[in-house]
């Protein structure tokens, strides 16, 4: 019996939307106030959805403590109170929340106790982003 588990995590981080592919004017036109040279911050909420067989002994898809430890060690300590633009994963890539969602998905693929279905990231009360991988990232 396959079941789904969703778990939420929160962190605060800053970023500046900017690409060297554009000049200053084009960056301001495309990214607007998010191109502020000093950056800006968000209180992100990340929801990961895992799936798997329900363990007949524990009644769970996976151990929540194990999932939380993985999230703390691999996501929260990396992104909380960070300037996303300074992180290796955003070198040569705009630090949009779309790209952040894909990076968090990549990280959670390393959690092997359950199957990662999707990552949902809320940037603001109006903006949220989902990433469920692509054909090359599907695990069987």
pLDDT tens-digit series, residues 72-128: 999 999 999 999 999 999 999 999 999 999 999 999 999 999 999 999 999 999 999
Give the strand pairing for 40-53 and 82-83: unpaired
CA-based Rg of the chain, rounded to a whole angstrom? 17
Which pLDDT value is given to residue 138? 46
Task: Give yes or no: 123 in active site.
Answer: yes
pTM of the model: 0.92
The strand ranges marked E within the chain are 2-15, 40-53, 82-83, 115-122, 128-131
Residue 58 binned pLDDT confidence (cut-offs 50, 70, 90): very high
Burial 20-42 (b: 16+ CB within 10 A, else e): eeeeeeebeeebeebbeeebeeb
Give the chain's length: 140
Task: Give yes or no: 62 in active site.
Answer: no
Give me the catalytic one of 15, 25, 34, 122. Answer: 34
Which pLDDT value is given to residue 134? 83
> CA–CA separation, 112 vs 97, rounded Å?
24
Give me the catalytic one of 29, 40, 66, 81. Answer: 81
Residues of the chain above pLDDT 90, percent:
94
pLDDT at residue 42 greater than cutoff 90:
yes
Q: Can you say whether the dihedral through the CA atoms of 15, 16, 21, 27 is positive or negative?
A: positive
* CATH superfamily, domain at 2-137: 6-pyruvoyl tetrahydropterin synthase/QueD (3.30.479.10)
pLDDT at residue 52 greater than cutoff 80:
yes
pLDDT at residue 139 greater than cutoff 50:
no
pLDDT at residue 132 greater than cutoff 70:
yes
Q: Is 95 helix (H, G, I), strand (E, B) or coil?
A: coil
Mean pLDDT of the chain: 95
Contact 49, 36 (CB under 8 A): no
Give me the catalytic one of 115, 120, 122, 123. Answer: 123
Describe the strand order of the beta sheet including 82-83 as a list of residue ranges.
82-83, 2-15, 40-53, 115-122, 128-131
Mean pLDDT, range 45-74, rounded to an integer: 97
Task: Give yes or no: 15 in active site.
Answer: no
Residue 140 binned pLDDT confidence (cut-offs 50, 70, 90): very low
- Tokens 């969703």 locate to 6
């Amino acid at each position: 019996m396959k079941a789904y588990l969703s778990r939420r995590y929160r962190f605060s981080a800053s970023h500046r939307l900017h690409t060297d592919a554009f000049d200053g004017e084009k960056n301001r036109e495309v990214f607007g106030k998010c191109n502020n040279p000093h950056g800006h911050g968000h209180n992100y909420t990340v929801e990961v959805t895992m799936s798997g067989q329900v363990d007949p002994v524990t009644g769970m898809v996976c151990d929540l403590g194990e999932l939380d430890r993985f999230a703390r060690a691999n996501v929260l300590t990396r992104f909380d109170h960070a300037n996303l633009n300074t992180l290796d994963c955003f070198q040569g890539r705009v630090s949009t929340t779309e790209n952040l969602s894909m990076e968090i998905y990549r990280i959670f693929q390393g959690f092997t106790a359950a199957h990662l279905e999707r990552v949902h990231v809320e940037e603001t009360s109006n903006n949220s982003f989902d990433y469920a991988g692509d054909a090359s990232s599907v695990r069987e």
